[in-house]
Amino acid sequence: MKATLERVAAWIDERTGLYTAGRGFFEEKIPASSGWHQVFGSVALFLVLTQAFTGILLAFNYAPTPGEAYNSLRYILTEVTCGRLIRGLHHWGASMLIVVVVLHMVQVFLWGAYKKPRESTWIVGVVLLLLTLTYGLTGYLLPWDNRAYWGTVVATNIAAQLPLVGPLMARLLGGEGAVGVVTFARFYGLHVLLLPPATMLLIGLHVFLVRKHGVAPGPGDEGLSKKPFFPGQVFKDTVAIFFAFAILFLLAVAVRVPLEQLADPGDTSYIPRPEWYFLFLFQTLKLFNGPLELVGSAVLPGLAVMALILVPFIDRGKLVKVTRRTVAIAVVALAAIGWTGLTAAAVKSTPSEALAAQVDYSGPTAWIQLSPEELAGVAYFRQENCVSCHAFGRASDGPDLSRGLIHRDAAWMIRHFKDPAGMRPGSSMPAAGLSDAQLNSLAAFLLRLNPDNATVLADAPEFATQGALVYQSHQCSACHRVNGVGMTIGPALNGLARRQTRSWVADHFANPQKLSPGTSMPPYKFSPKELDNLMSYLFSLPES
């Protein structure tokens, strides 16, 4: 058997050279000073492969057109087996890849491994860093939610400001006037058609150059005998990859990647914000106003990239130990302080987003389809702690009300809430301390319950249930309709976010006659919390 396997291996190697090439790769000699500080390149390559694999899995169920992209992503997150895990791996893998690539370049910079004859290796690495950032930029739009849309609007506007090539960039990105189908198609094409082959070619060239010139030895180690790449350095790379994947997997499982509501070009109140690794640039732009905007959007980033490319030609001195490279250490420290300070300032200065923007549409959102009365019933169900006896989906003292077993009308249920023992002798259920109107809302919620929407009790956000309570207590349904329920004296409130801003609605509550002369709507004096909950609820309502 062994002889047969050896003959097969020899036949394959004679015709492909795979065995010889693999053996040569693992037996490559590396400097004696090589160690843990050189694992970042292998980890980065592993993360690139992870991104490619998870991207392919996502593409199997992804529809690359606006609108359908959003719906297909929701399908992946809610219906596809391990869909949420795959998306989490792809999302957090992008962030981890940027971190690891930056750490790899910092290590090379601190050790001075870009010096002659490795200048071209460094330059290819800089281009790979730019490609990695471009992946993040183009992939940002693909979920087609509000966050993706408005973040891309900011990015295309910045690109349009570039000197000389700005108008051309705006046309190429399809961002002239507005972000739409053309922009989406070109970002998708860049993300999945152009960038992957360019990345593979550059990674191949990078590895070839590393093999050609070898790993840079430490100062004074040139005369020491080299060691094989296998098993010592392979072990270190494998351990680093294992820990990197463990962190990535933990992030994908434990940290939910939110999906906001479908992109709304009319939602001018939305506060755009880029991914965390672009926040420093976002904050830099705030430091330059008017004609100086060009400095923050183009000049400074361009100079930074140029400086990175020219590093090997600026620093041409002899290689010295990392502990003696004080200038390099100072440059890295200043860059880290600057990046951290700008990012922290961007986070601190970002206004708190509306509660409606915090809804995670990647999970069940059946609560959005409930009427205000039914949603208020969710609040009362929680308030009365009914779940302590009527748990959904598990054994409890009372019946599981989500299984569609309620065969009574609202009047019977209200009498039951008021006098449980009288309606069901021997019942240990206490009487509910609610008014008739509140009990009616609770009954309406329970009568709407079925196995398909039973998650509303856990999924309905607090602002939505509290906003529905305000809506009900002020009898807004006497004039307005929500989800088909209510009167038509006033306008229907579904899709309100597309028609008005939050500030206009707040002013309208305070003084309706000022903004809608002749209206019969009275002014309302809500507390700040009531107003925030009510508006956030109304602005989360979908189109009818």
**What does each of the 544 residues of the chain score in pLDDT, given as a tens digit?**
778 877 887 888 778 877 777 776 776 777 777 788 889 999 999 999 999 999 999 999 999 998 899 999 989 998 899 999 999 999 999 999 999 999 999 999 999 999 989 999 999 999 999 999 999 999 999 999 988 998 888 888 877 777 777 778 878 777 666 788 889 999 999 999 999 999 999 999 999 999 888 887 877 676 667 777 778 888 999 999 999 999 999 999 999 888 888 887 877 667 788 888 888 888 888 888 777 878 888 888 889 999 999 999 998 888 888 888 999 999 999 999 999 999 999 888 876 655 555 677 777 788 888 999 999 999 998 888 887 787 766 656 677 777 755 667 888 888 888 888 887 887 778 888 888 889 899 888 888 888 777 778 888 889 999 999 999 999 999 999 999 999 999 999 998 877 887 788 889 999 999 988 989 899 999 999 999 899 889 988 887 7
Residue 509: predicted pLDDT:
93
**Shortest CA distance to 446 belongs to which of 364, 486, 493, 387?**
387
Single-letter amino acid, residue 20 = T
Residue 528, CA atoms < 13 Å, CB-side half-sphere: 0
Residue 400: predicted pLDDT:
72
Tell me the DSSP string of 65-122.
STTHHHHHHHHHHHTSTTHHHHHHHHHHHHHHHHHHHHHHHHHHHHHTTTSTT-HHHH
Determine contact, residues 274/77, Cβ cutoff 8 Å: no
- Angstrom distance (rounded) from CA 148 to CA 142: 7
Residue 361: predicted pLDDT:
77
- Angstrom distance (rounded) from CA 320 to CA 313: 17
Residue 176: predicted pLDDT:
63
- Angstrom distance (rounded) from CA 116 to CA 530: 67
The predicted model scores a pTM of: 0.81
Which residues on adjacent β-strands are paired with residue 64? none
Distance set, CA 202 to CA 12, 50, 132, 159 (Å): 28, 17, 12, 25
Tokens 């509501």, residue? 261
**Shortest CA distance to 381 belongs to which of 457, 487, 456, 451?**
457
Determine contact, residues 441/373, Cβ cutoff 8 Å: yes
Q: In terms of C-beta density within 10 A (0-12 exposed, 13-18 middle, 19 or more buried), how is residue 370 classed?
A: buried
Task: Kindly give the interhelix angle for 146-160 and 181-189, rounded to the nearest 10 degrees.
Answer: 80
Residue 218: predicted pLDDT:
75
Residue 405: predicted pLDDT:
58
Beta strands at 481-482 and 227-228: parallel, antiparallel or unpaired: unpaired
Residue 503 tokens, joined: 């500030």
Distance set, CA 274 to CA 136, 269, 285, 371 (Å): 10, 16, 13, 35
Domains contained in the chain, CATH given: 38-352 (1.20.810.10), 366-539 (1.10.760)
Residue 128: predicted pLDDT:
96
CA dihedral (129, 132, 137, 140) positive or negative = negative
- Angstrom distance (rounded) from CA 443 to CA 130: 58
Q: In terms of C-beta density within 10 A (0-12 exposed, 13-18 middle, 19 or more buried), how is residue 511 classed?
A: exposed
- Distance in Å from the first CA to the final CA of the chain: 70
Tell me the DSSP string of 226-261.
PEESTTHHHHHHHHHHHHHHHHHHHHHHHS-----S
Residue 384 tokens, joined: 């009365």
Three-state DSSP class for residue 358: helix
**Shortest CA distance to 133 belongs to which of 255, 301, 336, 256?**
301
Determine contact, residues 509/524, Cβ cutoff 8 Å: yes
Determine contact, residues 541/495, Cβ cutoff 8 Å: yes
Three-state DSSP class for residue 262: strand
Could you report the per-residue pLDDT of 97-155, keeping only the tens digit for each?
A: 999 999 999 999 999 999 989 999 999 999 999 999 999 999 999 999 988 998 888 88
Three-state DSSP class for residue 60: coil
Residue 498: predicted pLDDT:
72
Residue 333: predicted pLDDT:
96
Residue 210 tokens, joined: 């590393």
Three-state DSSP class for residue 430: coil
Residue 195: predicted pLDDT:
96
